[in-house]
């Protein structure tokens, strides 16, 4: 079966636009866990990664089979490295525990700032991104890909007693 590249390109561009703007328009919700309030990545953002990653793999396999030439080993290694880098840079789940704000990642060490160690809270990009800075040089960032930005800011102000710097 031969796929028309124009159709594939149109579908890919349409999905990219839908996911890009759709994830910004959705709010997401905060969830209560035994550890505290959890601000996970938005489901639409998670699904976009779950769809995009296999799509990249399938596209790479399609190109290598359609090319009818052997692919150099370094090209495959570069491709796998790019996927690993993309997975490593996914935003971690932020949890407001009774004593601290924490951020857990899949493949990176966790970050923790005790509430009494928070030096400043900065809101950027019209409030879509919030950075919490600690006196231990740790920075936890709530991005537009995380859920419930307004609730995060309000709860952080309440727990730390600090005002958000815009």
Q: What is the pTM of this model?
A: 0.70
Local confidence pLDDT in tens for the 166 residues of the chain: 567 777 877 787 777 677 666 655 667 778 888 888 888 888 777 777 777 777 777 777 777 777 777 777 887 788 888 778 877 777 888 999 999 999 988 778 889 999 999 999 998 877 678 889 999 899 998 888 888 888 888 888 899 988 888 7
Residue range(s) occupied by CATH 2.30.29.30 in the chain? 93-165
Q: What is the DSSP string of the chain?
A: -PPPHHHHHHHHHHHHHHHHHHHHH-----EE-SSSEEEPBPHHHHHHHHHHHHHHHHHHHHHHHHHTSPPPHHHHHHHHHHHHHHHHTSPPEEEE-SSEEEEE-SSS--EEEEGGGEEEEEEEGGGTEEEEEETTS-EEEE-TTBS-HHHHHHHHHHHH-PPEE-
CATH number corresponding to 93-165: 2.30.29.30
């Amino acid at each position: 079966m031969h796929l028309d590249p124009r159709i594939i390109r149109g579908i890919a561009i349409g999905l990219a636009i839908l996911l890009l703007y759709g994830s910004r328009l959705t709010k997401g919700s905060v969830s209560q866990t035994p550890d505290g309030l959890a601000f996970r990545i938005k489901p639409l953002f998670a699904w976009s990664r779950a769809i995009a990653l296999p799509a990249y793999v399938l596209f790479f396999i399609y190109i290598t089979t359609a090319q009818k030439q052997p692919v150099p080993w370094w090209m495959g290694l570069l491709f796998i490295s790019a996927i690993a880098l993309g997975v490593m840079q996914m935003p971690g789940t932020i949890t407001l525990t009774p004593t601290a704000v924490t951020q857990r990642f899949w493949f990176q060490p966790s970050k923790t700032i005790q509430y009494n160690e928070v030096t400043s809270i900065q809101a950027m990009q019209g409030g879509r991104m919030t950075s919490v800075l600690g006196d231990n040089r740790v920075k936890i960032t709530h991005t537009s890909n995380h859920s419930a930005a307004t609730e995060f800011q309000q709860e952080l102000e309440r727990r730390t007693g600090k005002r958000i710097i815009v």
